[in-house]
Amino acid sequence: MKVNPSNQVDPQLIDAVNAGCIVVFSDEWGNDRTLEARALAVVSGGTAALVGYQLDGGVGIAPEQLWKRIDALSRFTVMEVAGDLPARSIPSQYVENVGRLLALAPNTTWDQTRHITSSDDDA
């Protein structure tokens, strides 16, 4: 399933994330990265964003496991509905600026602790 390039959220995408799905994201350098899609939300500015946990960095890339927030929904494809994703908690810096949650994968929680940056320490 390909995502609508206008950044409109397809109801099938909401269903896929709620069910627990695996997506492939093409980054700005053309690397295909495999992610567990963990949340889909409307962020500040009214656009949709996907938060996922990266499982694979792509061909020739070290397999980094880390969190990513994708604001360009046209740059990923849903590969499969996995359903039985392992339990993970989305770090607070990835849930800041979320206005409305559209979908949340099974076994996924949000870290609601306020994310503190170095500029916050100076205040």
**Between residues 49 and 122, the one the model is more confident about:** 49
Supply the pLDDT for residue 76: 83
Band the pLDDT of 20: cuts 50, 70, 90: very high
Span 53-71, average pLDDT: 78
Q: Establish how many alpha carbons lie within 13 A of residue 10's alpha carbon, considering only the half-sphere containing its beta carbon.
A: 15
Supply the pLDDT for residue 56: 80
Q: Among candidates 81, 107, 91, 99, which has minimal Cα distance to 41?
A: 99
Share above pLDDT 70 across residues of the chain, in percent, rounded to a whole number = 78
Supply the pLDDT for residue 114: 62
**Contact yes or no for 14/102 (Cβ under 8 A):** yes
Return the H-helix or E-strand segment holding 37.
strand 32-43
**Between residues 61 and 68, the one the model is more confident about:** 68
